[in-house]
């Protein structure tokens, strides 16, 4: 019921965030299929994973600012 009470802009933002999460998960699984099989440094992998996550958070926040109406609080 709460979903129906949300404003249109909030529904768009939530939908875009869900699409973002699904796209990231599918891209991650697709990239793992074609890994070279070489031993890589786990620390570098962790840093890369964190950087990708941070990029997604920034992208989501930029979408929030883009779709947010002026003088409104979300």
Going from N- to C-terminal start, the domains of the chain cover 9-33+41-67
Mean predicted confidence (pLDDT) in 56-65: 83
- Asked if residue 62 has pLDDT above 60, the reply is yes
* Cα 19 off chain centre by: 8
- Asked if residue 38 has pLDDT above 60, the reply is no
| pTM summary value | 0.43
Cα separation values, 6 from 9, 11, 12, 36, 73, Å: 8, 6, 10, 45, 13
- Asked if residue 51 has pLDDT above 60, the reply is yes
């Amino acid at each position: 019921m709460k979903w129906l009470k949300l404003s249109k802009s909030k529904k768009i933002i939530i939908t875009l965030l869900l699409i973002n999460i699904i796209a990231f998960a599918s891209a991650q699984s697709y990239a793992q299929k074609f890994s070279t099989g070489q031993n890589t440094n786990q620390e570098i992998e962790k840093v890369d994973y964190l950087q990708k996550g941070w990029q997604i958070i920034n992208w989501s926040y930029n979408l929030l600012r883009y779709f947010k109406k002026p003088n409104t609080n979300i």
